[in-house]
Structure 1
């Protein structure tokens, strides 16, 4: 089975968005480089036009290519309208939600709605095969980490302080130990870090 990686862009004080779900300058580095990443059209899940620095491309490109399935919460699904059925990476998405998929919403898309984080990881692993399962950070990601289902934590730290907002690990309970970072890559206006989770 593939690795389960919890991932998101975060401020240096650990927020993935402000209280109104606005990411502010957190994603600016996705559009300020000269190396295109992912599908480059206006209808792609990435929004098209993603261009990162050479250092970030060497990290982001292979990481996105390794993803077989994404696990996300309903809040993010609603905010981005499920990337219009075209995720930025991987061919499958599992949404943790107590509400079903909106009626008639992109029936061609491989989006699966489950109401439990354990079931979400089981479904995502089946769909991904031996490829990576990427878990979006936030409340759902924190619940999956707390359940012991995350193998690695990947953070793209941006030099901005939010002060408050939506936390990378959500409202996670307890202490969770990570190993020393095994990936440390400095991009332009972003620091890429990866930690294995100590089980």
Structure 2
């Protein structure tokens, strides 16, 4: 089975959005560089709706491209799914999405898309691993990500830290209780307007 990585873009003080789910300048670095993010056969990874394509700094491009290409399944909470309407059935990376939700998939919603609605974080990770095979399971940070971390199901924490202070809002680790130790970062990459960090979760 592949690695389970909890990931998100985050402010210096640990927020992924403000209280109204506005990400402010957190994603600006996706569009401020000169290197496009493309996959095999020039697959465009831009699902932002901006229509201009994602262009980041060269150092960020190498890291982001190599990371996204390993993803098999994304795990997200129902709140984020509703907020972005599940990216209209086209996730930014990977072939499958598992949504942690007590409610089923909306009736008639993109029946062709490999989206699976699962009640509970343990069952969601089991399903995501099965779908991903040897590829990575990417868990969106926030309340659901924090629950998955607290359950001991996360192998690594990846943060794209942007130099902005939010002061309040939606926390990267949600409302997770207690201490969870991480190893020293094994990835430290300085992009333009972003610092990429990855930590293995200490067992």
Distance (whole Å) between structure 2 residues aligned to residue 103 and residue 36 of structure 1: 36
Distance (whole Å) between structure 1 residues aligned to residue 109 and residue 31 of structure 2: 29
Cα deviation, residue 45, structure 1: 3.3
Distance (whole Å) between structure 1 residues aligned to residue 69 and residue 47 of structure 2: 14
- Deviation string 1:15-54 (CA, Å, 9 cap, x unpaired) is 000000000000000011111114438xx63545111100
Name stretches of at least 5 consecutive residues in structure 2 with no aligned partner: none
| Secondary structure class of the residue paired with 1:25 | helix
1:112 aligned partner: 116
Distance (whole Å) between structure 1 residues aligned to residue 128 and residue 44 of structure 2: 26
TM score, norm. by length of structure 1: 0.97
2:47 aligned partner: 45
Q: CA RMSD in A?
A: 1.1
- Deviation string 1:139-186 (CA, Å, 9 cap, x unpaired) is 000000000000000000000000000000000011000000000000
- Does the aligned pair in 2 maintain the 1:45–1:84 contact within 8 Å? no
- Please identify runs of 4+ aligned residues in structure 1 that moved more than 2 A: 38-41, 44-48
1:54 aligned partner: 58
Distance (whole Å) between structure 1 residues aligned to residue 10 and residue 159 of structure 2: 7
2:159 aligned residue (152, 155, 159): 155
Name stretches of at least 5 consecutive residues in structure 1 with no aligned partner: none
TM score, norm. by length of structure 2: 0.95
The aligned length equals 197
Q: Does 1:181 align with 2:185?
A: yes
Q: Does 1:95 align with 2:99?
A: yes
